[in-house]
Amino acid sequence: MELDERMAIVSAQEELLRFETFTHEDAWELGKIFVAEAMDKDLKIAISIKLMSGLTLFQYSAEGANLSNETWIDRKFRTVLNFEMSTLRYSLWLKQRGTTLVERGLDPTKFVACGGGFPIYVEGVGTVGVAIVSGLTDLRDHEVLVNCISRYIGEDNVPHYPVM
């Protein structure tokens, strides 16, 4: 699959997976869907839902997750915070331009160009938060995000990014 096709899929996911509102209660309910997914599929993941201010509304680490996952969560959060797009889309954006985090002046210990961070976008407001998964391959982290968010908002027609 071509890079432009991959970018179109991720962009469509971000367009479709938008919220009408997003409250602390929504973070709790969405977080419970992530936890159920982790338990049902025995995923050794860490999950975090944060506001753009950095306030953590929900966090969970499945058995087998570790401190390294929290480091990845922080890097994924900073990337979405700064660019208001999923970390996978930012990774593809860099590839389209033939550049890297370092060439863009970003510290790779603070930012990351891979899947696993997804913007929480509220219609009429903009990006208000970030949902983050860490512990699988970056494409599978992204897939968990898309599956759980689409389940929560009831959007069934979300295109799926190829996971190898």
Cβ pair 134, 69 in contact under 8 A: yes
Question: Is pLDDT of 163 > 90?
Answer: no
User: What residue ranges define each of the domains in the chain, with the CATH number in brackets?
Assistant: 3-153 (3.30.450.150)
Segment 143-161, tens digit of pLDDT? 999 999 999 999 999 999 8
Segment 85-142, tens digit of pLDDT? 999 999 999 999 999 999 999 999 999 999 999 999 999 999 999 999 999 999 999 9
What amino acid is encoded at 124 in this protein?
Answer: G
Question: Is pLDDT of 164 > 80?
Answer: no
* pTM for this entry: 0.96
Question: 49: closest CA among 69, 68, 26?
Answer: 26
- So what's the pLDDT on residue 9? 97
Phi-psi region of 22 (alpha: psi -120 to 50; beta: other; left: phi over 0): beta
